């Protein structure tokens, strides 16, 4: 009988240990699950604030909005400096990740970057997939053509059969396709490569933003290039873009952009990078 009691007590003790171990494991699992839930519950802004840094996507090859200074190779430009100022006013560091335009918007959804700026136009289609800040640049479309013959283009209808240089996902390439142009795609090429190809006849036209195109052509006066005098189309606006739903980030950004508009910072940056022009003011033009 005593032997049976001892066996019974041993079984009870073992069962108790197993139960305690299970409870302990459950506590650890619960702690891990709780931590994961807390991390998921963090808003996009809270994660940025906790890290103390904003990660921004840009190309680094689009003069004068995002490019490298020749003497220092430092990344600068109209939108690069806007982002630097935004980060500073929010008390954050900023890290730039350079990539081709086609990869910039993808990197937002993958979480590789927190926001992006690269002369990215605000469109209804993009607003379905991403969220945009208040605009800080207003512009319209132009066409870079050969100076001596305007590349045989008089109107947008003459784009049919012409070779239009650009990146496939831009609004300007979309317009080129709509008018029947043959698209010639570049992978994050420099302005110089685009321009020289038009000048020598490898391509016929660059459909792009008026201000960017004007400065690019002026930077290479030796090339046989000009801004088409009669083609103006597609009024547009540019802004900072974030992943859809990250409205808490936009709220902070828009507060800062408002201050930068009011204190003249954006106008000064515009005049610095766009040859004295104030791109932050919407123009009333006949399109």
pLDDT reported for residue 167: 86
Phi first, then psi, for residue 180 (nearest 5°) are: 90, 15
Q: Count of domains in the chain?
A: 2
Same domain, 145 and 131: no
| Distances in whole angstroms, Cα of residue 202 to Cα of each of 111, 160, 196 | 38, 16, 8
Same domain, 225 and 251: no
Domain for residue 39, yes or no?
no
Domain for residue 16, yes or no?
no
Rounded to an integer, the average pLDDT of 75-88 is 98
pLDDT in tens, 133-163: 999 999 999 999 999 999 999 999 999 999 9
Range of the domain at 100: 45-136+239-273
pLDDT in tens, 172-187: 999 999 999 999 998 7
Same domain, 217 and 256: no
DSSP E strand stretches across the chain = 53-58, 67-68, 75-76, 93-98, 115-116, 130-132, 137-146, 163-166, 182-185, 206-209, 225-227, 233-238, 241-243
Domain for residue 89, yes or no?
yes
Q: What distance in Å separates the CA atoms of residue 163 and residue 214, rounded to the nearest whole number?
A: 20
CATH number reported for the structural domain that contains residue 71 in this entry: 3.40.190.10
Same domain, 132 and 250: yes
Same domain, 131 and 144: no
pLDDT in tens, 9-58: 454 444 444 444 444 444 445 554 444 444 445 888 999 999 999 999 99
Rama region for 286: left / alpha / beta (φ>0; ψ in -120 to 50; rest): beta
Domain for residue 25, yes or no?
no
pLDDT in tens, 234-271: 999 999 999 999 999 999 999 999 999 999 999 999 99
């Amino acid at each position: 009988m005593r032997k049976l009691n001892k066996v019974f007590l041993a079984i009870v003790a073992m069962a108790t240990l197993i139960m305690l171990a299970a409870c302990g494991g459950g506590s650890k699992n619960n702690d891990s699950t709780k931590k994961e839930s807390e991390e998921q519950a963090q808003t996009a802004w809270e994660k940025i604030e906790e890290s103390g840094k904003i990660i921004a996507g840009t190309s680094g090859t689009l003069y004068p909005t995002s490019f490298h200074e020749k003497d220092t190779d430092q990344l600068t430009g109209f939108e690069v400096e806007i982002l630097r100022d935004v980060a500073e006013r929010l008390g954050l560091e900023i890290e730039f990740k350079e990539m081709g335009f086609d990869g910039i918007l993808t990197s937002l959804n993958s979480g590789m970057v927190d926001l992006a700026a690269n002369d990215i136009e605000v469109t209804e289609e993009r607003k379905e997939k991403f969220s945009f800040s208040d605009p800080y640049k207003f512009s319209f479309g132009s066409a870079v053509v050969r100076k001596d013959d305007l590349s045989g283009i008089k109107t947008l209808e003459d784009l049919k059969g012409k070779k239009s240089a650009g990146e496939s996902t831009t609004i300007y390439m979309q317009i080129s396709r709509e008018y029947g142009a043959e698209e010639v795609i570049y992978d994050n090429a420099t302005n110089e490569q685009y321009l020289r190809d038009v000048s020598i006849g490898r391509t016929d036209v660059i459909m792009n933003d008026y201000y960017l195109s004007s400065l690019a052509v002026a930077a290479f006066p030796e090339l046989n290039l000009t801004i088409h005098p009669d083609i103006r189309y597609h009024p547009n606006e540019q802004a900072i873009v974030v992943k859809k739903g990250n409205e808490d980030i936009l709220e902070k950004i828009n507060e800062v952009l408002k201050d930068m508009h009011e204190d003249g910072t954006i106008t000064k940056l515009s005049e610095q990078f766009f040859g004295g022009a104030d791109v932050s003011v919407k123009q009333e033009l006949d399109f």
